Structure 1
Amino acid sequence: MRLLSLFTIGFLLIYAEGFCQKKYQKVYFEDGTLKAQGWLEGSEKSGYWTFYHPNGVKQKEGHFKKGVASKYWYFYRQDSSKEKEGHFKNGKQHRWWLYFDSMGHINHKCQLKNDQKNGYCLIYEKQKLIKASKYQNGKKIKEWTDFSSFRKENKLSDLK
């Protein structure tokens, strides 16, 4: 009986390992340049992945959970400058996203929910805040160009 139990446990471990095994994968463009690399769990992307532009420069990097983008991601232009970064939830942009100009400075940051602006957007020019807007389900509902009026009408804790 003990031998049968050990055999059953061994079989189940081998069976489970075959279906849940994580492996590292590299994908290449037709010319042999690296296109993407990261972990697969079964046939789905899992864990950290990095993608590349055809010129070899990093394009984006972040986490997958069961084949869906999750957690924090970074995006880069073909010249390697940062383009944007932010959170994903269930494969959709969520929470604060930062957008960068070609010099690497933030030119705006927005609160998003389900890939739509939903909350505040802060607009910068020459590294100075010049205006703020509020969105609801992707539609602008209010805009401020001075900090005092913004502060009177809003709770700063909403910016977290």
Structure 2
Amino acid sequence: MRITILLLFISTFAFSQKQYKRYFFENGEIESEGWLENGEKTKYWRFYHSENGKLKAQGHYKEGRKTKYWKTFYSSGEIESEGHFENDKKIKWWIFYDTNGTVNHKCQLKNNKKNGYCLMYKNKKLTSAVKYSLGKRIKEWIDFKSFKKENRLRDLQ
């Protein structure tokens, strides 16, 4: 009986340990690296592009689901997007960049859908704002004056 309990304790302890893991593409380049606990991704992870080994994405997991702040990158190495996850879904403000690393647009998201405002940029200047509700486009403004007149700026937080 004592041996069975001891073996059960040892196997449970060994399985629940955190391990730092690295995975590789068939070409030998690193695919991803990060922490596993109980067989699920946890804490900080990095993912890489197969063609050149540059960083593709980085962020946190909790119980196998994306959480907290994440960044994604083009294969050139320039930032592609950044924002928050909760329970594997994009939430709050996300910033999206063009291939030169310049802000293209910023959007409020909820459960991976646009929900709130999207601010559109061209040549680093705000060009328009669009309001969404659960992914459906509600209204667009093409000048800041009319946008400000119809909306509270604190809604952009």
Worse-matched range after superposition: 80-89 or 13-22:
13-22
Q: Output the CA distance in 2 between the equivalents of 1:58 and 1:15.
A: 36
Taking only aligned residues, the RMSD between alpha carbons, in angstroms, comes to 1.7
Structure 2, unaligned stretches of length 5 or more?
none
Give the secondary-structure state (helix, strand or coil) at the position aligned to 1:133. Answer: strand
Q: Output the CA distance in 2 between the equivalents of 1:149 and 1:135.
A: 17
- Structure 1 match to 2:92: 95
- Structure 1 match to 2:45: 49
Which 4+ stretches in 1 moved above 6 angstroms?
10-13
Map 1:18-97 onto structure 2 (within 5 A): 18-54=14-50, 55-97=52-94
Give the secondary-structure state (helix, strand or coil) at the position aligned to 1:86. Answer: strand
Paired residue type of 1:47: K
Q: Output the CA distance in 2 between the equivalents of 1:101 and 1:92.
A: 22
Q: Output the CA distance in 1 between the equivalents of 2:30 and 2:78.
A: 19
Map 1:119-158 onto structure 2 (within 5 A): 119-158=116-155
TM-score normalised to structure 1 length: 0.90
CA-to-aligned-CA distance 1:102-129 (integer Å, 9 cap, x gap): 2211110000000000000000000000
For the pair shown, the structure with the greater C-alpha radius of gyration is 1
Structure 1, unaligned stretches of length 5 or more?
none
Q: Output the CA distance in 2 between the equivalents of 1:14 and 1:159.
A: 52
CA-to-aligned-CA distance 1:74-102 (integer Å, 9 cap, x gap): 00011111111111011011100000012
TM-score normalised to structure 2 length: 0.92
Query: What is the deviation of 1:14?
Result: 4.7
Q: Output the CA distance in 2 between the equivalents of 1:13 and 1:95.
A: 42
Q: Percent identity?
A: 50
Check 1:158–1:12 CA distance in 2 against 1; reply closer, same or farther (3 A cut). farther
Q: Output the CA distance in 1 between the equivalents of 2:128 and 2:95.
A: 15
